[in-house]
């Protein structure tokens, strides 16, 4: 406990070197003066507060708000000087607001504590003292050997020591980390792969030497044995915390990173606080009203002294000053009077505005989850709100950035065509048929494969990461011993849906058996390298094969909207293979610059390739994608598609989903090689757009296609021109985009001079940076990492239309009305107080009762507008969906513009004058005030000593009207 306290205070840092030395099973050297390194425990802490720091930390955060800090100052002033109102009038509303907010934030943090306790208290098994003991996850120490069973999550970052598989491998899923549901294969340390018993693991004499913190994707590690040479390890040997063990009975691993030093905890990206346009407007309005408050206080103070400067205004006997007061400093008196007027008028600032807005957003967010139109029955997923602070931003979106695969499409691939040695084949009823032929050969037999075709099929069968999962088979045995060669529980997992589609296309029992035999034959015969990838990554390194014909076929596949992969190979002689093996071993065992050395070796290997062919896989569009994009366009929202697919495939999908129209003039900025070429092409695009504007041709719309390489050149020196071209286009398609480029495009547009509101929607880990960068982020089909980093989550792209056009419309109108009404009602409330000072000789007398001052903001006028802002529907939802153009009426923050704000403020002042002087005139001469027949006298005949009571009675009518 003392050590932990010292670490928390910073006096005892957990580690002090650049590398960490982990002793297996914590068997430290027994000789010398060895001091073991200190590491963090295995507790995960996502909570914000503790019992000890909740009150001071929460108060500090709340008083960072301008309104709360302002009322705190007013409350302190009321305590220090003699003010016309009681400190309760400011203190009680402030206490109410602070308490409600603290309860809300405390409850949310309690939920985080609860989730942390479930994770930290989860039961785990570790090897200690020669036996397998059960403990809690938080008790795992660096160096402990941990046992993980099938379908369990890894409690820490582990180096895989052994598994129940003979080859020492295991399969994991990282869906909770990056949204990918495919199986990934990891490998045990070869020297320990056979150590599957607790006794053998306990007897290990070894040390793991690795980097101190695993922040990046590269894991550099050495497994050092005390009796044999060291073994280099990489990311394929590391099991990350949060991943789940699949298709493997059990594994043993040594903990190298624990708790807040695990990869999952270190890579928690702290999302920047997104502030809505409404919140920014609120802060601006508060500053303006603060200026009005200071003006009224200063003016009243000056008029008081100007009024009292005339001798005819003798002080009444009950308000005469003492000698000490007469002889006190005039400056101090002026400051005291100014502060008194400041307290008197301070209710022009709506103290309950923030808490009412927070309640409205919090309660209003439930309507999204309750909407059955946003519920996807097939996946049993409803819409999810992660950030209620941005509800109103859904009604202000001007640009939508969307991923293609899995967002616009189903991300469920089906093999359709391929090209082998320059000959195109099609898939017909499960058979591969050359183009121009039917599925049945003349003699009813399947033609024999030539060498090129056989090598292509070998590459497709071997060069992938597909794994087969069985529900019943846990022990050793032939996986194809089931009836007819198949198990009905067989499932395929792959690192990409393309690979899964290719393997499923050849999933006959014979093909799967042959796959294992071919692997065996290749390992005994010649050495062949198989590779596949995008044509831009593979074709430049090919030197033989039907390159031109295959390139034409790839373009044809892409024009049909198919996803393409190019397949190639390279044959190694015995000497070449030995040279490659030597270089790889040297690069993998390097502790310094390992990644750079590996890249250099891979570049040496992946050259002089022989082109085998290409594949075409279809990814179907989701339901109602075209109708949704058209509705967004009619609503004035521009849609940009950001995808990693090649140019032709992306354009074909854009045309099929309605993002591009057939009549649209498509401008291209692709395959630019230099800054000069890029600049010339941008100028040509700009000239084309300018000519259309000069001719006033509003019929022809323009679309822009840009690839990742050209985008990098355009943003290097021609950013302004590029953005000008983009903004003048109706639709923009960015292809061959890296994840960071997606985020850069979003950031570039949202920081432009117009400051448009942006929305990004994606479904995978590669879309997280784009989602976080936009003003509003939405998760599409899948991906838990994307869910955590998104503000809203919907199951299908088609739900985006109602989310924006209906919910966004309602949220914005409701919150805008709430904010404007708060400022309006406070002007109506406090202006009579200011006008009353002219009738009481600026004696700082209050017009309202203290209870009325206290409850006006937090009760009388907050609850009605809160109910209104939750249920009001000015237009029926069906009308908003059928007429998307209504979305344009609230764009550009129109209901909270400065002009609208001045209108509400002017209206408040007008109504305040009507309330005050209307009541004054209504209660004029010869007006019966009492039920017993007593008649009030004219205000002009009232002495100043009685005018106060009279005016309070008059303006009470105004207060009742406001309620």
144 marked as binding residue: no
Which tens digit of pLDDT belongs to each residue from 627-658? 999 999 999 999 999 887 777 778 878 887 88
What pLDDT was estimated at residue 440? 58
Q: What is the largest CA-CA distance in the chain?
A: 126
**CATH architecture of structural domain 122-266:** Distorted Sandwich (2.70)
Q: Hey, what are 733's tokens?
A: 């398609």
Instruction: Look at residue 315 in the predicted model and tell me its pLDDT.
Output: 61
At 79-129, the pLDDT tens digits run 887 777 778 877 887 888 888 888 878 887 888 788 888 889 999 999 988
Name residues whose C-beta falls within 8 Å of residue 464's C-beta, 6 or more positions apart in sequence.
494, 495, 499, 502, 503
Q: Binding site annotation covers 405?
A: yes
CB 381 within 8 A of CB 516: no
For helices 708-717 and 719-727, the axis angle rounded to 10 degrees is 120
At residue 951, the pLDDT reads 42
pLDDT given at position 458: 82
What is the rounded CA–CA span in Å between residue 639 and residue 868? 33
CATH (one of 3.30.70.890, 3.40.50.1000, 3.40.190.150, 3.40.190.10) for 375-408+622-804:
3.40.50.1000
Q: Which residue has the higher pLDDT, 38 or 958?
A: 38
Q: Is 563 annotated as a binding residue?
A: yes
Strand partners, 423: 420
The predicted pLDDT at position 480 comes to 39
Q: How far apart are CA 761 and CA 764, in angstroms?
A: 10
Query: Which pLDDT score, from 0 to 100, does residue 534 have?
Result: 76
User: Does the annotation list 767 as a binding residue?
Assistant: yes
Average pLDDT over residues 685-701: 67
Least reliable range by pLDDT among 482-491, 495-504, 771-780, 781-790: 482-491
Identify whether the C-beta of residue 15 lies closer than 8 Å to the C-beta of residue 39. yes
- CATH second-level architecture of 415-435+452-471+489-620? 3-Layer(aba) Sandwich (3.40)
Report CA Rg, the chain: 36
State the pLDDT at residue 214.
Answer: 63
Beta sheet of 221-225, edge-to-edge order: 19-23, 206-211, 221-225, 231-233
φ, ψ dihedrals at 956, nearest 5°: -60, -30
Q: Are 341 and 299 in contact (CB under 8 A)?
A: no
Please say if the pLDDT value at position 242 is more than 60: yes
* CB contact at 8 A, 534 and 557: no
Confidence of residue 947 (pLDDT cuts 50, 70, 90): very low
Cβ-count burial 416-449 (b if 16+ within 10 Å, e if not): bbbbbbbbbbbbeeeebeeeeeeeeeeeeeeeee
**pLDDT class of 924 with cuts at 50, 70, 90:** low
User: Is 361 a known ligand-binding residue?
Assistant: no
- pLDDT of 139 higher than 60: yes
Q: Which residue has the higher pLDDT, 908 or 232?
A: 908
The answer to whether 32 is annotated as binding is no
Q: Express each pLDDT in 158-216 by its tens digit.
A: 989 888 887 888 888 876 665 556 678 888 888 888 777 888 888 888 888 887 776 54
57 annotated ligand binder: no
To the question of whether residue 27 is assigned a binding role by annotation, the answer is no
* 564 in a known ligand binding site: no
Residue 405's pLDDT is what? 75
Instruction: Supply the pLDDT for residue 811.
Output: 94
CB atoms within 10 A of CB 477: 9
Q: Place 956 in a pLDDT band, splitting at 50, 70 and 90.
A: very low
Q: What is the pLDDT of residues 494-545, one digit of tens each?
A: 656 666 777 766 553 333 323 422 222 344 357 888 888 877 778 888 888 8
Residue 517 has a pLDDT of 26
Render pLDDT for 355-373 as a digit per residue (tens, 0 to 9).
788 889 889 989 998 999 9
Positive/negative CA dihedral, 394, 397, 403, 407? positive
What percentage of the chain has pLDDT greater than the value 90? 14
pLDDT value at 228 more than 90:
no
Distances (CA, A) of 296 to 333, 340, 656, 844, 934: 18, 12, 63, 12, 37
User: Given a cut of 70, is residue 622 above it in pLDDT?
Assistant: yes
* pLDDT recorded at residue 514: 31
Helices 451-462/509-524 angle, 10° precision: 100
- Known binding residue 404? Answer is yes
Confidence of residue 954 (pLDDT cuts 50, 70, 90): very low
Q: pLDDT, tens digit, for every residue of 561-616?
A: 787 888 888 888 888 888 888 888 888 777 677 777 888 888 888 888 888 899 88
- What pLDDT sits at residue 497? 64
Alpha-carbon gap, residue 447 to 434, rounded angstroms: 11
**Mean pLDDT confidence for 811-816:** 94
Burial class (CB in 10 A: 0-12, 13-18, 19+), 133: exposed
Asked whether residue 456 is marked as a ligand-binding residue, the answer is no
Question: In this predicted structure, what is the pLDDT of residue 498?
Answer: 67
The percent of residues above 70 in pLDDT, for the chain, comes to 78
At 9 the three-state DSSP class reads helix
Confidence of residue 927 (pLDDT cuts 50, 70, 90): very low
714-734 residue pLDDT tens: 888 788 888 888 888 888 999
User: Bridge partners of 566?
Assistant: 533, 614
DSSP secondary-structure letter at 764?
A: S
Annotated catalytic residues are 403
Q: Which of 16-30, 311-325, 424-438, 503-517 has the lowest mean pLDDT?
A: 503-517
- Average confidence (pLDDT) over 58-62: 86
Q: Pick 452 or 319 by higher pLDDT.
A: 452
Half-sphere exposure of 805 (CA within 13 A, CB side): 27
pLDDT band at 907 (very low <50, low <70, confident <90, very high): very high
Angle formed at CA 159 by CA 13 and CA 177, multiple of 5 degrees:
85
Known binder of ligand: residue 499? yes
User: In terms of pLDDT, which residue wins out, 910 or 261?
Assistant: 910
Alpha-helical (H) ranges within 780-862 are: 784-789, 799-802, 809-836, 850-855
Residue 925: predicted pLDDT:
54
pLDDT tens sequence across 406-448: 788 777 778 888 999 888 888 887 777 887 776 555 544 445 6
532 among annotated binding-site residues: yes
402 is in an annotated binding site: no
Q: How large is the average pLDDT for residues 49-64?
A: 86
For the chain, give the mean pLDDT: 78
Residue 789 labelled as part of a binding site: no
């Amino acid at each position: 406990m003392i050590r932990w306290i010292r670490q928390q205070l910073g006096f005892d840092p957990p580690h002090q070197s650049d590398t960490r030395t982990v002793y297996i099973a914590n068997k430290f050297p027994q000789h010398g003066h060895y001091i073991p390194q200190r590491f963090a425990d295995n507790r995960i802490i996502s909570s914000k507060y503790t019992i000890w720091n909740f009150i001071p930390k929460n108060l500090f955060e709340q008083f960072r708000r301008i309104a709360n800090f302002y009322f705190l100052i007013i409350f302190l002033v009321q305590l220090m000087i003699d003010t016309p109102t009681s400190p309760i009038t400011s203190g009680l509303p402030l206490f109410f607001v602070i308490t409600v907010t603290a309860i809300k934030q405390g409850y949310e943090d309690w939920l985080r504590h609860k989730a942390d306790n479930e994770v930290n208290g989860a039961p785990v098994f570790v090897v200690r003292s020669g036996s397998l003991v059960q403990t809690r996850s938080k008790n795992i120490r660096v160096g402990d050997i941990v046992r993980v069973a099938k379908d369990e999550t890894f409690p820490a970052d582990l180096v895989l020591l052994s598994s129940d598989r003979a080859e020492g491998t295991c399969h994991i899923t990282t869906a909770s980390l990056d949204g990918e549901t495919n199986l990934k294969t990891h490998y045990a340390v070869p020297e320990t792969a056979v150590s599957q018993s607790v006794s053998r693991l306990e007897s290990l004499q070894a040390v793991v030497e690795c980097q101190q913190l695993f922040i990046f994707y590269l894991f550099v590690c050495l497994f050092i044995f005390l009796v044999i040479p060291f073994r280099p390890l990489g990311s394929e040997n590391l099991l990350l915390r949060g991943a789940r063990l699949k298709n493997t009975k059990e594994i043993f691993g040594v903990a190298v990173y624990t708790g807040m030093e695990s990869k999952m905890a270190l890579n928690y990206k702290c999302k920047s606080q997104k502030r809505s346009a409404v919140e920014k407007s609120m802060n601006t309005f508060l500053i303006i009203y603060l200026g009005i408050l200071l003006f009224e206080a200063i003016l009243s103070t000056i008029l008081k002294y100007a009024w009292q400067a005339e001798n005819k205004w003798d002080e009444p006997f009950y308000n005469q000053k003492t000698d000490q007061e007469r002889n006190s400093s005039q400056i101090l008196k002026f400051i005291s009077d100014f502060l008194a007027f400041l307290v008197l008028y301070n209710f022009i600032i709506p103290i309950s505005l923030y808490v009412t807005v927070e309640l409205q957003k919090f309660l209003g967010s439930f309507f999204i989850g309750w909407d059955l139109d946003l519920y996807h029955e097939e996946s049993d997923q409803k819409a999810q709100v992660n950030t209620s602070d941005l509800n109103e931003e859904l009604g202000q979106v001007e640009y939508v950035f969307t991923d293609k695969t899995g967002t616009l499409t189903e991300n469920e691939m089906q093999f359709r065509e391929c090209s082998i040695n320059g000959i195109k084949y099609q898939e017909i009823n499960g058979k591969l048929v050359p183009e121009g032929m039917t599925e049945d050969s003349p003699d009813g037999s399947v033609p024999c494969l030539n060498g090129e075709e056989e090598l292509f099929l070998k590459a497709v069968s071997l060069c992938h990461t597909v794994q087969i999962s069985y529900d019943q088979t846990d022990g050793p045995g032939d996986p194809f011993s089931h009836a007819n060669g198949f198990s009905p529980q067989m499932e395929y997992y792959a690192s990409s849906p393309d690979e899964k589609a290719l393997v499923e296309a050849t999933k006959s029992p014979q093909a799967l058996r042959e796959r294992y035999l071919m692997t065996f034959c290749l390992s005994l015969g010649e050495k062949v390298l198989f590779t596949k990838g995008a044509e831009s990554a593979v074709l430049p390194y090919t030197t033989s094969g039907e390159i031109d014909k295959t390139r034409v076929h790839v373009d044809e596949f892409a024009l049909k909207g198919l996803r393409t992969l190019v397949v190639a190979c390279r044959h190694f002689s015995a000497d070449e293979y030995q040279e490659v093996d030597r270089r790889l071993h040297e690069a993998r065992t390097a502790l310094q610059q390992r990644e750079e050395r590996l890249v250099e070796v891979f570049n040496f290997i992946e050259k002089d390739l022989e082109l085998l062919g290409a594949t075409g896989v279809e990814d179907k569009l989701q339901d109602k994608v075209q109708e949704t994009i058209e509705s967004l366009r009619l609503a004035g929202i521009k849609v940009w598609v950001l995808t990693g697919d090649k140019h032709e495939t992306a354009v074909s999908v854009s045309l099929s989903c309605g993002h591009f129209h057939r009549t649209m003039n498509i401008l291209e900025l692709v395959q630019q090689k230099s800054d000069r070429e890029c600049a010339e092409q941008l100028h040509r695009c700009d000239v084309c757009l300018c000519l259309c504007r000069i001719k006033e041709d509003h019929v022809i719309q323009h679309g822009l296609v840009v690839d990742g390489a050209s985008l990098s050149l355009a943003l290097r020196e021609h950013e302004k021109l590029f953005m000008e071209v983009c903004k003048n286009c109706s639709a923009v398609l960015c292809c061959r985009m890296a994840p960071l480029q997606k985020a850069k495009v979003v950031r570039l547009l949202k920081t432009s001079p117009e400051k448009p509101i942006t929305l990004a929607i994606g479904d995978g880990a590669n879309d997280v940076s784009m989602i976080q960068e936009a003003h509003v982020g939405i998760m599409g089909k899948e991906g838990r990492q994307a869910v955590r980093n998104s503000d809203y989550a919907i199951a299908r792209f088609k739900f985006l239309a109602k989310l924006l056009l209906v919910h966004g419309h309602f949220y914005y109108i409701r919150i805008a009305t709430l904010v404007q009404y708060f400022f309006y009602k406070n002007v109506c409330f406090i202006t009579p107080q200011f006008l009353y000072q002219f009738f009481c000789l600026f004696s700082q007398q209050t017009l309202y009762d203290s209870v009325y001052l206290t409850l006006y903001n937090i009760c009388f006028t907050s609850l009605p507008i809160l109910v209104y802002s939750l249920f009001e529907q000015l237009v029926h939802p069906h009308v908003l969906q059928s007429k998307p153009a209504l979305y344009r009426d609230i764009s550009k923050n129109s209901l909270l513009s400065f002009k609208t704000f001045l209108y509400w403020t002017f209206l408040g002042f007008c109504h305040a004058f009507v309330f005050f002087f209307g009541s004054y005139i209504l209660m004029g001469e010869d007006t019966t005030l009492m039920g017993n027949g007593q008649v009030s006298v004219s205000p002009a005949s009232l002495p100043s000593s009685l005018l106060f009571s009279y005016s309070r009675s008059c303006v009470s009518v105004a207060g009742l009207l406001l309620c």
